[in-house]
Amino acid sequence: MNERDEALKELLKRAAGGPADRELKRDLWPEMLRRIERPPVRVPWWDWALAAALLVCLLLFPETIPTVLCLL
C-alpha cells in the first residue's frame, strides 16, 4: 500500500472505530437445539394432490388462467 492508501485505511479505521469485538457473549447452543428440535413443516399429501390437479387443469385449459387469477 502506498501513502495515499494508508491514509484512506486510517480514515476508514477511524470512522469504523477499529476492529470489532470478536468475543461471543453468550452460549448459542440452547437456540440451536430449539431449532433442531422444531418439528419440520409437513404439507399433507392431499394438498400436493390438489396442487397437481390444479396445475394439470391449467395446462389442459389455459383459457381458464385469467379466471383463476381473478379468483385469487
Partner 1 sequence: MTGTVEAELEQFTRGDIQAFETLFREYQGEVYGWIVRIARDPGVAEDLTLETFWRIYRARARFDPHRPFGAWARRIATNLALEHLSRRRAEKPLHDDLPPRAAACAAPDPALSAEVRANVVAAFGELPAKLRAAATLAMIEETPYEEIAEALGISVSGVKSRVFRAVRLLRRSLEKRGVRP
The cell numbers describing 19, all together, are: 476492529
* Chain Cα centroid distance, residue 28: 20
Which residue, 35 or 67, is less far from partner 1 as judged by CB?
35
CB of 21 to partner 1, least distance (A): 6
CA distance linking residue 34 with residue 30, whole number of Å: 6
Question: How many Cα atoms are found within 13 Å in the side-chain-facing hemisphere of 39?
Answer: 3
Site for partner 1, residues 30 to 69, rule: CB under 8 A: 31-33, 35-36
Site for partner 1, residues 4 to 23, rule: CB under 8 A: 4-5, 7-23
Binding site for partner 1 (CB under 8 A): 4-5, 7-25, 27-29, 31-33, 35-36
